[in-house]
Structure 1
Amino acid sequence: MADVGNLRIHHSPGQERYEAWLASESGDGLGEDLVGYLDYVAEDYQVVLTHTVVREHYSGRGYAAELVRTVLDDIRPSGKRVVPVCSYVRHFIEQHPEYADMAVPVPQ
């Protein structure tokens, strides 16, 4: 698992997006870098998780998994189901059966 201690997940409901930001140091002092994001479409009874992106520089460090975990944990209390259109989210749910009860099959 990655060291994700400095990772901050920000939810932008108006954009239907969750963003992952990482604290960084720059010449101007402390700042944040955008690591990646997860786009979704909110519907009445479900949330369609459409696309997960992690910038190449940050890939392979566990940030995408932490982003998806945070999104699923945020959705769970609403009682809404998730439609994992995004292949990464679908794979994540397959690997983490504690989230399987939230997922509905993706229409073909």
Structure 2
Amino acid sequence: MADVQVTHSPQEERYVLTVDGERAGFIDYLDEIEVRVLTHTVVEAEYEGRGYASQLTRFALEDIRNQGRQARAVCSYVAAYIQKHPEYSDLVAVG
């Protein structure tokens, strides 16, 4: 079984997914005052289809919740994820 880890890299403004020690994907963001704007999600081609994007997105949203922030999904993947997982709808910034 693969060793999958997701970490937050504030200096890069990104959440990073590693699989067996190799960078496999990321979510980029920009911070506004109380809102984290999730701009782009990437999972490298060799890691697609294994649910890694979902794990990465869930980690990012939980981190945002734990920080008491809201999220704005500019990224279509994150927007679709939130729509499919209504438990995160309270995080969505309006406006």
Distance, in Å, in 1 between the alignment partners of 2:59 and 2:17 is 10
Query: After the TM superposition, which segments of 4 or more aligned residues of structure 1 sit over 4 Å from their partners?
Result: none
Deviation at 1:104, TM superposition (A): 2.5
Deviations 1:36-89 (A, max 9, x none): 000000121100000000001111110000000001001102221100000000
1:9 counterpart = 2:1: no
Distance, in Å, in 1 between the alignment partners of 2:32 and 2:25 is 23
TM-score normalised by length of structure 1:
0.82
Identity of aligned residues (%): 43
RMSD of aligned residue pairs (Cα, Å) = 1.4
Question: How many correspondences in the alignment?
Answer: 95
Distance, in Å, in 2 between the alignment partners of 1:36 and 1:45 is 25
* Range 7-16 or range 63-72, more displaced: 7-16
Matched residue, 1:74? 63
Residue 61 of structure 1: SS of its match in structure 2? coil
Structure 1 residue runs of 5 or longer lacking an equivalent are 24-31
Structure 2 residue runs of 5 or longer lacking an equivalent are none
Distance, in Å, in 2 between the alignment partners of 1:39 and 1:14 is 11
Matched residue, 1:53? 42
TM-score normalised by length of structure 2:
0.93
